[in-house]
Amino acid sequence: MKKFLITSSPNSQFSLFQKGFTLVELLVVIAILGILAAAILVALDPVEQIARGRDSGRKTTISQLGNAVQSYFTVQAAYPVASATWLTTLTSAGELKSAPPANTPAPTCGASAFNQNGYCYQLNGVEAVVYTLAESKTEKVRAGGGTTCASTTWIVWSTRDGGKTGVYCNATAPDGSAALGANLK
């Protein structure tokens, strides 16, 4: 086979058969891209991202449930009765369009609290508390005040704290008997 040469100047010659990358060059580039992709995947921690997304949804739901409890109080001059059907009561009264879907993992509520769909409600005299579990590392650090909460992390809405929603680090479930105050982050 005849080789054709292209000459752009008297001292430079290029062969038409020497185009493209070698197999070794391509493998090196693919290996580098693979290492970069693995490093990015580790940095993003997809499991933590999913947990943060679920916790964000839980915070929103807890705020909405707390606002519905407060709205019920405004109309009825009393908080909903603490029972296993407290969400149904709020829905029947028109404070919620529908009960939120089941929340997992479902928390173990305090002794005088009631769990419906994975959300706990406790009425302690004239104070109401709505809460559930948090699962992300981010919320555990926030609840621990900058260090990881070594106990259970709760997402809480409390009437005693002015209807504030936040996270709380404690082994036992929150109740309405004392202000969470500075412990509610």
Query: Per the domain annotation, does 89 fall within a domain?
Result: yes
Q: Is residue 76 part of a domain?
A: yes
Domain that holds residue 84: 47-183
pLDDT 10s digits, 5-49: 555 555 555 555 567 888 999 999 999 999 998 888 777 888 899
**Residue 9 falls inside a structural domain:** no
**Is omega for the bond preceding 107 within 30 degrees of 0, making it cis?**
no
pLDDT tens for residues 59-98? 999 999 999 999 999 999 999 999 999 999 999 999 999 9
pLDDT in the model for residue 59:
95
Q: How many Cβ atoms from other residues are within 10 Å of residue 25's Cβ?
A: 10
- State the pLDDT at residue 97: 94
pTM of the model: 0.76
Whether 21 is in a domain gets the answer no
Backbone angles phi, psi at 180, to 5 degrees: -80, -30
The pLDDT of residue 20 is 82
Whether 41 is covered by a domain: the verdict is no
Q: Where are the alpha helices (DSSP H) in 45-114?
A: 46-76, 86-92
d(CA 33, CA 42): 14
Bridge partners, residue 119, by sequence = 116
Query: Does residue 99 sit within a domain?
Result: yes
Residue 15 within a domain: no
Residue 54 lies in a domain: yes
- Quick: pLDDT tens for 145-181: 889 998 899 999 998 888 889 998 988 888 766 656 6
The per-residue DSSP string of 100-169 comes to PPPPSSPP---TTEEEETTEEEEEETTEEEEEEE---HHHHHHHTTTS--SS-EEEEEETTTTSEEEEEE
pLDDT number for residue 120 = 94
Q: How many domains does the chain have?
A: 1
